[in-house]
Homo-oligomer: A and B are copies of this chain.
Amino acid sequence: MKKIAVFTSGGDAPGMNACIRAVVRTAVYHKLEVYGIGRGYNGMIQGEIYRLFSHSVSNIIQKGGTILKSARCLEFHTPEGRKRAYEQISKFGIEGIVAIGGNGTFTGAQIFHKEYGIPIMGCPGTIDNDLFGTDYTIGYDTAVNTALDAIDKIRDTADSHERVFFVEVMGRDSGYIALPCAIGGGAEMVMIPETITSMSEVIETLQQGWRRSKTSFIIIVAEGDDEGGATEIAAKVKQALPQMDAKVTIIGHVQRGGTPTAADRLLSSQMGMAAVEGLIAGRANEMVGVMNGEIVYTPFHDTITKKKPISESFLRLVEVLSV
């Protein structure tokens, strides 16, 4: 293997740049030529491919976003799109690819590999942490800390005004962000897709607090909770308890940006290095993960189809610590 490429795809995540840097530097270390592909599969189809050097990735480890940019690409879903992508890749003589993204990215990579045989290794770049095959995904630790920082600020106001705050964090399908935010934010309750939310229990708990004159509450809501996002849930609560001063804050896209934390820079660096060394070792069609502190490789198929469970012991922590 002499030439490899790297791209980012799907929603951006803090640490993607640290991962790109690690891919480039590891390639240089092993005397490979390395190319960047701009805007995910779009750039692959349109030949937005350029050489990267060690200095190209200087001073990016601390930057949010992705210097290679990211975008959705409908054309890659078509055989024609993938054919054009392969032609571009071939033109540059690229023999292996590192794809940084989530399940959508890996699904495309799997098909592409099947059709054209080019080895692709994936790095899990998504703040959601709901990918099977790794304890943590790139950007997750940063996103949790960003959300927690916002929750700390909201608590100042909640305490000063004796209010109930419903704070919505990201997580369409999982409570991975919501759960540590609830524990770390000292929240009174957490609502996540993985468990059934009982509105009557929620209302009962608030009323109980009210009775023993506890009047400031923070409730963390994962955006994809079965009872809806924070706005819907707050509306249901207000209907039952109209006297309650309930406020809603949706932390939103802020969670995707910002300087990556130490843990995310470390994880991204490890994964980028492992992806390149995996390609060199002849691996393909797998996602790099870190489990129990060790690098592991999971076939794209498993990553895409298997579900990572939420920690039961964390759910118990929320319950015990909010007494």
Contact = CB atoms under 8 A, between A and B. Distances in A.
Contact of A184 (B65, B257, B265): B265
Interface stretch (A20-28, A197-205, A232-240, A298-306): A20-28
A320 B273 contact: yes
Contacts of A255: 153
A154 B254 CA distance: 5
Interface stretch (A108-116, A221-229, A244-252): A244-252
A320 to B, nearest CB: 5
A160 B69 contact: yes
A8 B156 CA distance: 14
Interface in A97-136: 135
B71 A161 contact: yes
Interface of A: 8, 11-12, 14, 16, 18, 21-22, 25-26, 28-29, 39, 54, 58-59, 61-66, 69-71, 135, 141, 144-146, 148, 150, 152-157, 159-162, 165, 180-181, 183-186, 247-259, 261-263, 265-266, 269-270, 273, 292-293, 295, 313-314, 317, 320-323
A293 B150 CA distance: 26
Nearest to A261: B145
Nearest to A252: B249
B135 A293 contact: yes
A313 B270 contact: yes
A183 B266 contact: yes
B253 A154 contact: yes
A145 B261 CA distance: 7
B256 A157 contact: yes
A295 B311 CA distance: 13
A162 B71 contact: yes
Given A152-B257, A154-B254, 11 more contacts: A21-B186, A22-B321, A26-B321, A150-B254, A152-B258, A156-B258, A180-B262, A180-B265, A183-B269, A248-B252, A270-B313
